[in-house]
C-alpha cells in the first residue's frame, strides 16, 4: 500500500511539473517593442518606374531624385494619415517590354501606387498590368493621347500631346510665320509619334504645308540622309517632337548641312545633355515644356533651391512633374481619408484647381489627363530661357 501511495505521489509531482512547464512555454512575454512593434509600422508601398538607363536616363534620374525628395518631406512631416511611404524603385530602361516586367514585379511587392513611367511607350506597356491589379499609376511624363486609355486607375500629371502638339503648331504658324514645315520624328516612340501627328494635323488646319515628314528610331546617330531630303524641300521650320539625345545630334548635323532654319520641339528636349551634345547648334531652339525653373512663384523657387542644394543641378520638367505626381497621390489619400485604392482613385479623379510646382491650377479631365498650361522656352547661352506661357 505504501508503494502505491508513494507511486501516486511521484506521479502527481511529475504531472504538476509538466502542467507548469506547459503553462510557461506556450507564449513568451512580449518584448518592450510592445504589441508586435505597435501593430507594425503603418506603411504605404510606392513603386517608381524609371528609365535609369537607356536613351532618356537623364529623365529617369530626375524622376528618382524628385520622388525621393518629396517622399522624405512627407515622411519627415509624419507621413500621410500616419502612414509612412516606402519606395520600391525599378529601372525600365525606357523599353516597353522591360516596363511590363518590372511593373509586375512592383505589383508582386504589394505597391499601392506606381509613379511612372517617364515615356509614353513604357506607360502604355505597363498600364494594362496596373489596371488589372487595380494599382494606381500616375505617370509624371507620358504625353501620348492614348497613355491613360488602359483604364480608370491610370493618370498622368502632365498635359497630353493633344494640347502640346497643338500649341507647337500654333506657335510655328502664328508666331514664327512658318508656311512650309518639315518634321523629323522617332517612329519607335509613342510619345514622339503622338506629338508629331497632332502637330501635322493642326499645322495643316492653320494653312501650313508639311513639305517633308521623315523618321528615325531611338538610338540612331546619323540623320544626314533624312536631313538632306528635308533640305531639298526648302522648309521654313523643322519640327523635332522627340528626345534630347537624338534631337541634339539632328541640330548639329542640320547646321553642318547648311540647314539653318528655326528648330521647334517638345518637352523631351528639356535636358542639360541637349546643350552638352548639341553645343552652339542648339542656340535659338524653341520648345514647349511643362514648367520653367524661372517661374517666380515662391513654391517653385523653394523647390528649385532645395533640389539644387540636394542634387547640384537645376531641376528640369522631369523632376518637377515627378514631385507633383507624389503630391497628387498625397492629396488624394488625404481627401479620401483612407488608403484603400478604390477610394483614393475616386479622390484623385476629383482633384480640381490644385496648386502644383508645374501649374498654379491643375485638374484632371474626364480621361484622367492633366489640365494645365504650357511654357514656351528658348535656348540661349547654353540654357533655357522663358519666353511665354500658354493656358489650356
pLDDT of residue 33: 40
Which helix or strand (DSSP H or E) is residue 129 part of?
helix 120-133
pLDDT of residue 324: 99
Residue 6 in domain: no
Least confident of 28-37, 219-228, 346-355: 28-37
Residue 145 in domain: yes
CATH number of the domain within which 62 lies: 3.40.50.2300
Under 8 Å CB-to-CB from 51, ≥6 apart: which residues?
57, 59, 60, 63, 91, 92, 93, 94, 117, 118, 119, 122
Q: Please tell me which residue, 25 or 194, carries the higher pLDDT value.
A: 194
348, 136 contact by CB (below 8 A)? yes
Nearest residue to 166 via CA among 129, 141, 203, 139 = 203
Whether residues 266 and 202 share a domain: the answer is: yes
Whether residues 119 and 220 share a domain: the answer is: no
Under 8 Å CB-to-CB from 231, ≥6 apart: which residues?
257, 258, 259
CA dist., res. 140 & res. 118, Å (int): 6
Under 8 Å CB-to-CB from 224, ≥6 apart: which residues?
253, 257
SS (H, E, C) 324-376: HHHHHHHHHHHHHCCCCHHHHHHHHHCCCCECCCCCCCEEECCCCCEECCEEE
Residue 321 in domain: yes
**Taking 50 as the threshold, does the pLDDT of residue 252 lie above it?**
yes
Whether residues 273 and 353 share a domain: the answer is: no
Whether residues 197 and 285 share a domain: the answer is: yes
**Taking 70 as the threshold, does the pLDDT of residue 113 lie above it?**
yes
Mean pLDDT of the chain, nearest integer? 91
Whether residues 84 and 144 share a domain: the answer is: yes
Q: Please tell me which residue, 1 or 332, carries the higher pLDDT value.
A: 332
Tens of pLDDT, residues 65-104: 999 999 999 999 999 999 999 999 999 999 999 999 999 9
**CB atoms closer than 10 angstroms to residue 172:** 25
CA dist., res. 118 & res. 55, Å (int): 12
**Of the candidates 289, 307, 341, which is a domain's last residue?**
289
Residue 84, strand partner residues: 43
Whether residues 86 and 154 share a domain: the answer is: yes
CA dist., res. 217 & res. 187, Å (int): 6
Containing structural domain, residue 58: 43-159+295-372
Residue 86 in domain: yes
Residue 22 in domain: no
Tens of pLDDT, residues 13-51: 334 333 334 444 433 333 334 344 345 679 999 999 999
Helix 161-170 to helix 190-205 angle, to the nearest 10 degrees? 50
For the residues of 258-282, what is the DSSP string, one character each? Answer: T----EEE-GGG-SHHHHHHHGGGG
pTM: 0.84
Residue 4 in domain: no
pLDDT of residue 40: 64
Residue 26 in domain: no
CA distances from 370 to 37, 39, 122 (A): 41, 38, 18
Question: How many domains, the chain?
Answer: 2
Whether residues 278 and 312 share a domain: the answer is: no
Whether residues 271 and 169 share a domain: the answer is: yes
Strands 374-380 and 383-390: antiparallel
pLDDT of residue 41: 79
Whether residues 281 and 181 share a domain: the answer is: yes
Whether residues 303 and 272 share a domain: the answer is: no
pLDDT of residue 240: 98
Residue 283 in domain: yes
Give the 3-state secondary structure percentages of the chain, helix then strand then coil, rounded to 5: 45, 20, 35
CA dist., res. 122 & res. 105, Å (int): 15
353, 261 contact by CB (below 8 A)? no
172, 240 contact by CB (below 8 A)? no
Whether residues 78 and 145 share a domain: the answer is: yes
Least confident of 128-132, 234-238, 270-274: 270-274
Cell numbers at 101, concatenated: 516586367
Q: Percent of the chain, pLDDT > 70? A: 90
Phi, psi (degrees; rounded to nearest 5) at 176: -95, -10
CA dist., res. 287 & res. 148, Å (int): 24
379, 282 contact by CB (below 8 A)? yes
**Of the candidates 289, 324, 357, which is a domain's last residue?**
289
Amino acid at each position: 500500500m505504501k508503494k502505491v501511495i508513494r507511486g501516486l505521489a511521484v506521479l502527481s509531482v511529475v504531472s504538476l511539473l509538466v502542467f507548469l512547464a506547459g503553462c510557461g512555454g506556450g507564449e513568451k512575454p512580449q518584448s518592450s517593442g510592445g504589441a508586435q512593434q505597435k501593430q507594425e509600422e503603418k506603411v504605404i508601398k510606392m513603386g517608381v518606374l524609371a528609365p535609369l538607363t537607356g536613351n532618356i536616363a537623364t529623365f529617369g534620374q530626375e524622376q528618382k531624385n524628385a520622388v525621393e525628395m518629396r517622399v522624405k518631406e512627407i515622411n519627415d512631416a509624419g507621413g500621410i494619415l500616419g502612414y509612412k511611404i516606402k519606395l520600391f524603385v525599378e529601372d525600365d530602361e525606357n523599353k516597353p517590354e522591360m516596363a511590363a516586367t518590372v511593373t509586375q514585379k512592383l505589383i508582386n511587392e504589394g505597391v499601392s501606387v506606381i509613379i511612372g513611367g517617364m515615356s509614353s511607350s513604357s506607360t502604355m506597356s505597363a498600364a494594362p498590368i496596373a489596371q488589372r491589379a487595380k494599382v494606381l499609376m500616375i505617370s509624371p511624363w507620358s504625353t501620348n493621347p492614348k497613355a491613360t486609355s488602359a483604364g480608370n486607375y491610370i493618370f498622368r500629371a502632365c498635359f497630353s500631346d493633344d494640347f502640346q502638339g497643338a500649341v507647337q503648331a500654333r506657335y510655328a504658324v502664328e508666331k514664327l510665320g512658318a508656311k512650309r514645315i518639315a518634321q523629323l520624328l522617332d517612329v519607335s516612340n509613342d510619345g514622339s509619334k503622338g506629338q508629331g501627328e497632332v502637330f501635322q494635323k493642326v499645322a495643316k488646319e492653320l494653312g501650313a504645308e508639311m513639305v517633308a515628314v521623315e523618321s528615325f528610331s531611338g538610338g540612331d546617330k546619323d540623320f544626314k540622309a533624312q536631313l538632306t531630303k528635308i533640305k531639298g524641300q526648302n522648309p521654313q521650320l523643322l519640327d523635332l517632337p522627340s528626345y534630347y539625345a537624338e534631337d541634339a545630334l539632328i541640330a548639329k548635323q542640320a547646321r553642318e548641312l547648311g540647314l539653318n532654319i528655326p528648330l521647334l520641339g517638345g518637352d523631351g528636349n528639356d535636358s542639360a545633355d541637349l546643350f552638352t551634345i548639341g553645343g552652339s547648334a542648339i542656340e535659338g531652339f524653341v520648345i514647349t515644356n511643362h514648367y520653367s525653373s524661372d517661374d517666380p512663384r515662391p513654391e517653385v523657387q523653394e523647390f528649385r533651391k532645395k533640389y539644387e542644394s540636394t542634387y547640384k543641378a537645376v531641376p528640369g520638367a522631369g523632376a518637377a512633374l515627378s514631385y507633383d505626381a507624389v503630391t497628387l497621390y498625397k492629396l488624394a489619400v488625404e481627401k479620401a481619408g483612407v488608403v484603400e485604392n478604390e477610394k483614393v482613385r475616386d479622390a484623385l479623379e476629383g482633384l480640381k484647381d490644385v496648386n502644383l510646382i508645374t501649374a498654379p491650377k491643375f485638374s484632371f479631365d474626364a480621361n484622367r489627363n492633366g489640365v494645365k498650361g504650357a511654357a514656351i522656352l528658348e535656348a540661349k547661352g547654353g540654357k533655357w530661357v522663358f519666353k511665354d506661357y500658354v493656358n489650356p
